[in-house]
Amino acid sequence: MDLQLDGRTAVVTGASKGIGLAVVRTLLEEGARVLAVSRTSGPELDALAGPDLVHAAEDLTDPQAPARAVARAVEVFGGVDILVNNAGGPPPGVALPRFGFLTPGDRDWVEMFDFNLFSAVRAARAAIPVMLERGGGSVVNVSSGNARRPAPMNVDYNAAKAALSNVSKALSEEFGPRGVRVNTVSPGPVRTPWWTDEGGAADILAAQTGADRQAVLDKVAPEMMGLTTGRLVDPQEVADVVVLLASPRSGSTTGTDVVVDGGFLKQV
């Protein structure tokens, strides 16, 4: 299926690994030009180097970083048609999961919202006027199944993602009539570096459960989270949905949330 992305420009945050890297790769394969935003690059992102890919080294906890990234895309590619707010999860230097409401303090809450909500708000604030000047565009915000499944584990993260989903719906109502579609994708647990890095979620849960990290990744975590598929989600499975929503082929899809979670959410 031709996604009609040839020559369109996308800004993708959290682009150096996991879901963001898969989104960048897929957009390039579909003919888009991509400004990839992350604090640092990495070998997998570097391997995609070419005239249609520019890396912007930005720390999105800096309030000015999202606007600089959008301005860079306009400078290099002439505009912005697609914004994928993928950056999120544990803020720099933080390991998740965290257990219990009383565990995170004020600073933890502020850092979590800054990374998972405010960076996306700032990026949208910068990109949407550029899209309006071009006659329209698409914003895809990567939320989480936890936005709709409150729990005492990672309570600050879950709340930030719930806020992101709420803001996304509001943006879709305001700017949809002017040609800018806004949607969210809500993954379940995805096999990304958040899980697999040393000291990451797999190691934390291994210490809690007495299982080894590989067992956590392959069996314990999917069972704990009630994943119908019996496995963590692959980043490419999320990226495929993100890119479809970004595409003009989804021209009548706005204000929706698409779940890619292996059966994590059980609600009707």
Q: Which two tokens stand for residue 58?
A: 């930005």
Pairing of strands 257-260, 82-85: unpaired
Which residues are known catalytic residues? 157
Contacts of 41 (CB under 8 A, 6+ apart): 16, 55, 57
Pairing of strands 9-13, 82-85: parallel
> 33 has which bridge partners?
9
Q: Which two tokens stand for residue 183?
A: 């949607």
128, 108 in Cβ contact below 8 A? no
The whole-angstrom separation of Cα 117 and Cα 104 is 17
Cis? peptide before 187, omega within 30° of 0? no
The whole-angstrom separation of Cα 251 and Cα 201 is 37
Distances (CA, A) of 223 to 158, 241, 247: 20, 25, 34
Instruction: Tell me phi and psi for residue 31, to 5 degrees.
Output: 95, 5
Task: With residue 168 as reference, give the H or E element that holds it.
Answer: helix 155-175
